[in-house]
Structure 1
Amino acid sequence: MESKNNRLLNNEMNSAKLALIAGAFATLGEGLSTIAEALAIEEEDIAIERQSTELKNELKNLQKQIDNLTKEVRQLRKTLGR
């Protein structure tokens, strides 16, 4: 009887240990998932910043073109006497 009780107690202890180990792995997995999500957000922020910089540069180039065309129109008006 006592042997059977000891085996039951050992089985319960082993079950508890396994549950503890499983919980630790689950917590570790959740932590890794959170880190992966943070990295994905950071990568997205970098991509948005890069795109914003490219758009700003494109706008600057367009403004330069507009300025040059405006200058040419003024010169043409002067040449034509208007």
Structure 2
Amino acid sequence: AFTVTYTKNAPTITPEQKTVNETIHYQGAGNQTPADHAASVDFTRQVSTDAVTGAKTYGAWSADQSFDAVKSPELKGYTADKAQ
């Protein structure tokens, strides 16, 4: 007689990435109005997939990314309602 014992494999860990976009739209200064400002930040997290059931467990999104502050352009004769 033989006994065979199965051991569950470790979960598969894979990274997941998400890009978040930011657009600042300027208006109100006619042909002096600055072009839109666009920026993006990539967030990542780890996804653990159970080797048997395929169930996924999601880690927290990385919190160390953020958008830089953007100073509103200065235009002669105009005042921006938000300095940044």
Which structure is larger by alpha-carbon Rg, 1 or 2? 1
More contact order relative to length (CA 8 Å, sep ≥ 6): 2
- Which TM-score applies when normalising by structure 2? 0.27
**Structure with the bigger percentage of helix:** 1
- Which TM-score applies when normalising by structure 1? 0.28
**Structure with the bigger percentage of strand:** 2
